[in-house]
Amino acid sequence: MRDFLEWSLYQGWLKLHLKYLHWYCAVALAPDVNIDAFIDPPIYIRTWYSPKVDLSTFRFGVMFRVFDWVVELSR
């Protein structure tokens, strides 16, 4: 029973983690990366339990800060 609980708990989380690592390596090793590749990464939850942070806010928060920084530098 313990093995099943561990397998069922970590299986989905590990699939998301491996999908994110695959995307990250593909983007990092690609010589001609578009900005669209950075805007739409796969969702990756850093913990196996549900975080209390809204994922859409966390996902786009860093990108919008970088965009604001670039706009500020271009002025």
- Please report, in tens digits, the pLDDT of each residue of the chain (75 residues total): 667 767 777 888 888 889 999 999 988 888 888 888 888 888 777 776 766 766 666 566 677 778 888 888 988
Tokens encoding 69: 């920084």
Phi, psi dihedrals of residue 30, rounded to the nearest 5°: -75, 130
**16 close to 45: Cβ distance less than 8 angstroms:** yes
Which amino acid, residue 34? N
- pLDDT for 37: 82
Q: Where are the domains of the chain?
A: 2-74
Q: Give the pTM.
A: 0.54
Number of alpha carbons in the 13 Å side-chain half-sphere of residue 13: 12
Please give the pLDDT value at position 19.
92
